[in-house]
């Protein structure tokens, strides 16, 4: 099956080499990788252009947000499967043909989300149940009481996620392996979300077409860097996206 990949970068020069190296083994196969740079100021776009001539680079004149940048690629691809990837992801590229085969053999599945690991090999509980106010508030309060910690663990499916396949309602945007026809049918990401909740929203739209499944036989590593200087701004963007999500799906 023909596979395409889109990676959105924003001042990602510290991560992009490891990420692209993960996919470089697929060069020469029926595979194309796009990097959409959201007006980085650290030289990310220039580095990708000079060091990775096999990558199709798209330069955005401004930071248009996560979903809108991925949509620049989604609108033009003609692949069978499309991978949405964060620049701080690394993986064994030999898994990609196996994921494609899995979609080919299971026409009811439209999205695969893998087991996501920290660099030390421990698990990140990123696939979640459908967002609710109760679940989201537990994230702010989980360190204050055992009750809120249990609610948070319920939201992140710690009681369910393991070594068996599970249908999930909220697949993480750090790595999504999606059937391209389904992605196009739902129109890609809703560009009203600048950052956060666009992956929950896309998962929900895709569920109108088919199943969205956590498959732990596939694994990726997520460095998950946090820019502390931007946490305040990102927090307010997240709150805005949360309200947008609840207004859309009420």
Which domain does 104 fall in, by range? 3-249
Q: Are strands 123-124 and 175-179 parallel, antiparallel or unpaired?
A: unpaired
> How much is the pLDDT for 1?
87
Beta bridge partners of 58: 36
**DSSP codes, 128-169:** BSPP-HHHHHHHHHTTT-HHHHHHHHHHTTTTT-SSS-EE-S
Helices 198-206, 231-249: inter-axial angle, 10-degree rounding:
30
Give how many domains the chain has, as a whole number: 1
The Cα-based distances of 80 to 44, 50, 172 in angstroms read 29, 29, 21
> How much is the pLDDT for 229?
41
**pLDDT tens digit sequence for 26-46:** 865 689 999 999 999 999 999
Q: What is the CATH number of the domain that holds 95?
A: 3.90.550.10
**pLDDT tens digit sequence for 106-141:** 999 999 999 999 999 999 999 999 999 999 888 878
Cα distance between residue 33 and residue 53, in whole Å: 11
What stretches in the chain show pLDDT beneath 50?
228-229
The Cα-based distances of 184 to 181, 204, 206 in angstroms read 5, 14, 10
Which token pair is 17? 């080499």
């Amino acid at each position: 099956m023909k596979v395409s990949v889109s990676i959105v970068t924003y001042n990602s020069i510290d991560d992009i080499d490891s990420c692209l190296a993960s996919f470089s083994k697929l060069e020469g196969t029926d595979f194309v990788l796009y990097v959409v740079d959201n007006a980085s100021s650290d030289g990310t776009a220039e580095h990708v252009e000079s060091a990775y001539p096999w990558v199709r680079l798209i330069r955005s004149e401004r930071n248009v947000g996560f979903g809108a940048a991925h949509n620049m690629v989604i609108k033009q691809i003609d692949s069978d499967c499309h991978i949405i990837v964060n620049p701080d992801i690394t993986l064994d590229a030999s898994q990609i043909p196996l994921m494609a085969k899995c979609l080919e053999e299971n026409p009811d599945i439209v999205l695969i989300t893998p087991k996501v690991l920290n660099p030390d090999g421990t698990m990140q509980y990123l696939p979640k149940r459908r967002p609710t106010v109760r679940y989201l508030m537990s994230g702010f309060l989980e360190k204050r009481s055992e009750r809120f910690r249990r609610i948070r663990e319920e939201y992140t499916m710690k009681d369910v996620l393991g070594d068996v396949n599970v249908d999930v309602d909220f697949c993480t945007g750090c790595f999504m392996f999606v059937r391209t026809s389904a992605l196009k049918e739902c129109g890609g990401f809703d560009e009203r979300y600048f950052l956060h909740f666009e992956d929950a929203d896309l998962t929900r739209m895709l569920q109108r077409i088919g199943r969205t499944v956590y498959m732990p036989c596939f694994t990726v590593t997520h460095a998950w860097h946090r820019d502390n200087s931007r946490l305040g701004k990102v927090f307010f963007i997240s709150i805005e996206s949360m309200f947008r999500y609840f207004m859309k799906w009420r």
